[in-house]
A and B are shown apart, each in its own frame.
Chain A
Amino acid sequence: MDQRNFVFMFYGFLAAWLIVVGYVISLARRGARLKKELEDVKQLAGSAQAQPGRLEDRVR
């Protein structure tokens, strides 16, 4: 029983870490994709108009 106790403890820690790390990786990938898309669209719109986006903040 003691053996399984330790093993399961590690499974528990592993599970917690896998979930968090998995989420962080998915966030990182989404971030990279968005960055690339932003660069593409900035080029499309023309660099003169590429101000940090506050245009769309107020919507009412």
Chain B
Amino acid sequence: MREKVAIGLGTASALLLTYTLYQMFMVLSDEVLQGAIYRIMFFHVPAAMIGMIGFFVALTMSVLYLSSGHLRYDALAASIIEVSVIFATVNIVTGSIWARIIWGVWWVWDYRLTSQLVCILIFAGYLMMRRAIDEPTQRARLSAALCIFGCVDVVIVWKSIEWFRNNHPGPVLTFRTGGGTMDPSMEHVLYWNLLALLLLGIALVLVRTRQDDMAREIDSLRRLANASA
């Protein structure tokens, strides 16, 4: 069942992406100041949003694991973090390529890039730590603890680095500025792209969680086989 949902979501995502890509290249014209490169934003911004939301959904899953003990929550948390790290990486890489044209450099130590990099490092550490633990309950417990520490730190990181440095483009989406900074047709494509990438992300999380279930099944069958042998 879950596989069918994942395939369904993946297909929906692919269709939406085809639509948005068509909009991006055939319908929308180049932006006045930036030229063609602005289209990267349609992937850069949604990837950032999904990454961030993902980390906090994983936090919720970790807390749910600690309170209930169901390993399912741990599997969900790990899958969500893995997919969020991928999206955050897409965010940083696409941003970097955009920056090379617009700012002339691959990287600046501005607060959003630095914060995002720190987030990726924190959760990459989380994923590495999971690899180093074999026992499922211990892994779930320690991962949940690390996820909580990580997410709390993410909030502090963002606020503190924002104080420290600031030259990334400011908010342009209507819900942040109250309207008027970005052309509505562009914003509309961006939101569709956000939906498309979100569906893709959910599909990936479902697949990954199913794989975790399989791994646990293998583990328990092995123990069963050893016990009866």
Number of residues of chain B lying within 8 A (CB) of chain A = 43
Q: How far is the CA of A8 from the CA of B118 in the complex (A)?
A: 26
CB <8 Å contact, B98 and A56: no
Residue numbers in B under 8 Å from A56 (CB-CB): 71, 136, 216-217, 219-220
Q: How far is the CB of A13 from chain B (nearest CB, A)?
A: 7
Residue numbers in B under 8 Å from A1 (CB-CB): 35
CB <8 Å contact, B221 and A9: no
B93, CB-defined interface residue at 8 Å: yes
- Interface band, chain A: 35 or more
CB <8 Å contact, B94 and A16: yes
B219 nearest in chain A by CB position: A56
CB <8 Å contact, B47 and A16: yes
Which of B43, B72, B219, B225 interacts with A16 by CB under 8 Å?
A: B43
Interface of A is mostly: helix
CB <8 Å contact, A60 and B36: no
CB <8 Å contact, B35 and A2: yes
From B55-63, B124-132, B163-171, B207-215, the one touching the partner chain is B207-215
B12, CB-defined interface residue at 8 Å: no
B184, CB-defined interface residue at 8 Å: no
Interface of B is mostly: helix
B117, CB-defined interface residue at 8 Å: no
Which of A8, A12, A37, A53 interacts with B213 by CB under 8 Å?
A: A53
CB <8 Å contact, B69 and A42: no
CB <8 Å contact, B211 and A31: yes
Instruction: Identify 12 new A-B residue pairs, CB closer than 8 A, beyond the known A31-B211, A52-B217, A56-B217.
Output: A8-B37, A12-B94, A13-B43, A15-B90, A16-B94, A19-B86, A31-B207, A46-B225, A49-B224, A53-B221, A55-B220, A59-B71
Which residues from chain B sit less than 8 Å from chain A, CB to CB? 35-37, 39-40, 43-44, 47, 69-72, 83, 86, 89-90, 93-94, 97-98, 100-101, 136-137, 200, 204, 207-208, 210-211, 213-222, 224-225, 228
18 pairs, A vs B, C-beta closer than 8 Å: A1-B35, A2-B36, A8-B37, A8-B100, A8-B101, A15-B97, A19-B89, A20-B90, A38-B218, A41-B225, A46-B228, A50-B221, A52-B217, A55-B220, A56-B216, A57-B71, A59-B136, A59-B137
